[in-house]
A and B are shown apart, each in its own frame.
Chain A
Amino acid sequence: MSEATRKKIGDSRWLKWLDERVRLKGWVVEAMRKPVHPWARKWYYCLGGLTLVTFLVLVVTGLILLQHYRPTPEGAAESIGYIMNDVWLGWLVRGIHHWAANVMMVLIVAHMVRVFLTGAYKKPRELNWIAGVLLLVTTAGFYVSGFVLPWDQRGFEIASAIVGALKQVPLVGDLLAGIVTSVTPVGGEALGFFFDNHVIVLPLVIFVLLLFHFVMIRRQGIAEPL
C-alpha cells in the first residue's frame, strides 16, 4: 500500500470523526505498521493465527447451535436431531463445529511443537509459553465437554468414564467426582456440569488467556528461530 493511499485513508472524514471519540488511531497505526521479521513470514508461523481462526469459527457455530440445544438428558439428543434434520443448514453448522473442534486441537498442538522446536519459550517468553499450555488444557476441556453434550450413548459413556476415573484419584477422588455429579448413573447433573463449563466457564477462561497471549506477542514480537 502506497504512502499516498495510507494518507488518503488517514485523512478520511469519517475516520477523523471516529478517532475524535475513540482515540484509537495511534494504536491501530502502530499495530498495522509493526514490523514482521523475515523469519516469521513462513507458513508454519501461521499455525497460531489459524488456531485463532478455528476458535472464531467455533464461537460462531457454537452460538448458532446453542440457540437450538437443550441441555437436559431428555431433550439433548432430541435437540441434536432437530438441529440435524429441521434447522435450516443445521447439519452443516454442526458439521463445521465438529470439524473445527478437531482441527483446532491439531493446530494448537502443531503450534506448540513449532514454538517448542524453535525455542520460542525461552527468556523473556516463559510466561507466554505457560499461557499457551493453559490454552491447550482449556481447549482440551472444550473438546471433551463437547463430546458429552449430545447425550447420546457415547456422551453418556464419556461422562461415566470421567466420573469413574475421577473417583480413582487418591484421597480426593470422591470430592472431585462429587463436583461433577453426586448421582450414579450420571444424568442431568453431570450434563449440566459439562454444559456450564462448555458455554460459560471455559469461554471466560479462554478469553482471558487469549487476551494475555496476544498482548504478550504484541509486546515481545515473534521470537527469532534458533
Chain B
Amino acid sequence: MAKTLKIFKRKAKEPPKDKPFFPDFAMFELLVGLILVVLLVVAALIWPGVAGPAADPSGEGRPESFIFHSLGVLPGWLVAVGIGLAVGFVILLFFIPRLDPGDRRTVKAKRVTAVLGGLFILGWLGLYAAYGFFAVPQGSNNTPGAEWGLCYRCHGYWDGPRNPLGVAAHGAVPDANCMTCHLDHPKLVNYYWHAEERVSPEGETTPAGLFPGTHRCSDCHNPHAPKADAVTPGDTRMEMMRAGGDRYVFPYRRTPSAEVHPSLPMSTCYRCHEFGFQRGGASEVLAEYPDMGLVGEHPPLGGRDCLVCHEAVTETGVGGINCLFTNADGDVHGLYGVQGSDCTACHSVTTPGE
C-alpha cells in the first residue's frame, strides 16, 4: 500500500540550476539582439525619416517639436527651473544607493520610488501645462498672427517622422478657416501643389497649378474623414494624384531618378511637373532646370552617344532609344496614357548648334 502511494506521489520539483553563460544565455541574447536589429531595419524601411531644409537663422522659426519649441516660448526663468529640476532628478539618481542602504528593499525604498515616479510625471505635465499657459501668438511666413499653439490642437507633443499622432480627424471646419492651419503646414500643403494657394475671406481658394479657377476646400476634402481618407471618395483627380505620388514620386527620391534629378527634394518636382504635364510649357521648365532634357534644347552631348544616358530598345522605346524615366521605375508614362507614343511628341533631341 505504501509502495502504491509512493508511485502516485508527485515528484518534488527540482529548483532550476545554474547554467553556463555559453551557449544557453549567450545564444538567447544573440537571438533577441538579432530580432531587435531586424525590427530597427523594418522601422527604418517604413519610416525612413526626411531631410529637412537647411536652417534659416534669419527667418521665422517653425514649430518642429513640442519640447524644443517650448524652450523658445517659455520664459527663461521657467526653462532654468525646468533644467534645474531635471539636473536635480539625475543627481538624485546618483544617491539612490545611499537613500536605500538596507540589504533588502524597505518601505523607505518604496517611498523613494513613488517620489521619483511622481516627480517625473509631474515634470512632464507641468511643462505641457506651462506651454499652454505661456504660448503666445507668433506670426509665421505664411499666416501672420497664427499661433503656434494651433499645431498642438491636432498634433501630439512628440513629433517623429511622419508622425500620425492626433491628426486622424477633426470636426466640422468652415471653409474660410481651413487655411488658418493648413496654409502654415508645408508638409500638407506643398504635397498637393497648394504651395501658392491663397484663400479668400469667403473661403474660395485659388489654387496654383493643377486646379485652374476657384474652388472651395470642401470640393475635394472631407474635414470629417481621417487623414488617410481626407480626400472625398470618388474624386478621381485626387485619387490618381495620390496613386501617382505614392507609386512614382516617392521612389524617385532615393532610387534611380536621383541620377536624373540629383538632390531635388520631392516638393521641387511639383514646381515643374503636374500629373504628367509641364506647367507653363517647356520654356518655363527649362529656364529653371536647363538640364532636364524636356521639350526644347537637349543638354550638350559633348560628342557622347545617346546610349551613354539612354538605354537601348525596350518594348516602350521608340527608335531604339528609351527614356530614363521608363527605365527608372517601369512605365511611368503609361500612367499618363502615352505608352508607345513617339517620345518626340513631348521631347526633342537637338544638339545645340545643329
Q: Which residues of A contact B (CB under 8 A)?
A: 1, 31-38, 40-41, 43, 46, 49-50, 53-54, 57, 73, 76-78, 80-86, 90-92, 94-96, 98-100, 102-103, 112, 116-117, 119, 121-123, 125-126, 129-130, 133, 136-137, 147, 150-158, 160-162, 164-165, 167-170, 185-187, 226
Contacts and interface: CB of A to CB of B under 8 A. Distances in A.
Contacts of B262: 85-86
Contact of B37 (A1, A53, A83): A53
A170 B53 CA distance: 35
Contact of B45 (A77, A95, A150, A152): A95
A35 B16 CA distance: 12
Contact of B97 (A31, A54, A126): A126
Contact of B54 (A31, A151, A161, A187): A151
A38 B14 CA distance: 12
Contacts of B44: 92, 94-96, 98-99
Given A86-B258, A122-B103, A133-B93, A36 B64 contact: no
Nearest to B71: A161
B97 A36 contact: no
Query: Does more than half of chain A's interface fall in helix, strand or loop, or is it mixed?
Result: helix
A34 B19 CA distance: 8
B161 interface: yes
Contacts of A162: 71
A142 to B, nearest CB: 15
B47 A164 contact: no
Contacts of A83: 51
Interface stretch (B24-32, B170-178, B304-312): B24-32
Given A94-B48, A117-B113, A32 B28 contact: no
A162 B47 CA distance: 28
Closest 7 CB pairs between A and B? A95-B44, A152-B52, A156-B55, A77-B54, A161-B71, A168-B80, A38-B16
Contact of A130 (B61, B71, B94, B101): B94
Nearest to B262: A86
B43 A129 contact: no
B72 A50 contact: no
Given A81-B265, A161-B68, A164-B71, A153 B24 contact: no
B17 interface: yes
A86 B263 contact: yes
A153 B55 contact: yes
Contacts of B49: 84, 91, 94-95, 98
B263 A137 contact: no
B47 A165 contact: no
A81 B32 contact: no
A50 B20 CA distance: 20
Nearest to A115: B96
